[in-house]
Chain A
Amino acid sequence: MNFFRITLTRSAIGLPRRTTDVLKSLGLKKRMGTVFHPVSQDIAGKIMRVKELVEVREVQERLTRKQLHLERKPDPGYYIEKRSTAEFLEQRGQ
């Protein structure tokens, strides 16, 4: 099943009330907020109403909030050294 990955890039401040309502029904509240919706005609119609404000991609699966956060998280720039046994066991657990 494919999903639309919709990100709000432009805010709807000052636009007609119905534009805000469409965003609300898609679950978009803040700029840069991302939601996933299954590919369907009604979602496509909603996207068409706010096409100037959003960025859309078609993806295979929906991500959780945590996964989305980890996508944005930068590389810490360091790594923690461990004993080889501990590292081995950690890799095995994954």
Chain B
Amino acid sequence: MFKPSSPLFGGLLWKTPWRISSPQKARQRKRLRAVDQVVDTVAAALARQGQSTKSINRWYDEMPREQEMLPKDKYTIFDKKERRYRKSIHKLPKWTRVSQRVNPPGF
């Protein structure tokens, strides 16, 4: 049955839901763990040769692992334009392919 609504009537009105769904959250955690695993593999392989790289050391210094992150940081990001300064992570462009784990100082 056709239910008239703004997205159906106006050609280019797409709506991103305000909330992130729980399967989206589960996949987000999976992706975070996958990135952790890639970094661990590379670091271990280099360590076996007695080497290390600046980018890997920096990652370990600055970035928390998936298990150490708070739910707040996993599923929301800082945004100065939002009320309470947080918005859901799925509003971030290309959010499934970027590493966004830390907040600006003080937030």
With an 8 A cutoff between CB atoms, is A10 at the interface?
A: yes
A48 engages B53 (CB within 8 Å): yes
Question: By CB atoms of chain B within 10 A, which of A2, A53, A56 has the most?
Answer: A56
Dominant secondary structure at the A interface: mixed
How many A-B Cβ pairs are below 8 Å?
60
Partner of B39 from the list A2, A51, A53 (CB cut-off 8 Å) is A51
B46 engages A53 (CB within 8 Å): no
With an 8 A cutoff between CB atoms, is B102 at the interface?
A: no
Partner of B41 from the list A40, A52, A58 (CB cut-off 8 Å) is A58
With an 8 A cutoff between CB atoms, is B99 at the interface?
A: yes
Q: How many residues of chain B have a CB within 8 Å of chain A?
A: 24
With an 8 A cutoff between CB atoms, is A68 at the interface?
A: no
In the assembled complex, the Cα of A56 lies from the Cα of B38 at a distance in Å of 6
B45 engages A15 (CB within 8 Å): no
Query: Interface 1/0s, chain B 47-68, versus A by CB < 8 A?
Result: 0110111111001000000000
Given contacts A15-B94, A52-B35, A58-B41, contact A41 B53 (CB under 8 A): yes
Query: Interface 1/0s, chain A 36-75, versus B by CB < 8 A?
Result: 0001110011011101111111100000000000000000
Q: B residues near A, CB below 8 A?
A: 31, 34-35, 38-39, 41-42, 44-46, 48-49, 51-56, 59, 94, 96-99
Q: A residues near B, CB below 8 A?
A: 2, 4, 10, 12, 14-15, 39-41, 44-45, 47-49, 51-58
25 CB < 8 A contacts A-B: A4-B45, A10-B97, A12-B97, A15-B97, A39-B45, A39-B49, A41-B51, A41-B52, A41-B53, A44-B42, A44-B53, A44-B55, A44-B56, A45-B55, A47-B42, A48-B53, A51-B35, A51-B38, A51-B99, A52-B35, A53-B97, A56-B38, A56-B42, A58-B41, A58-B45
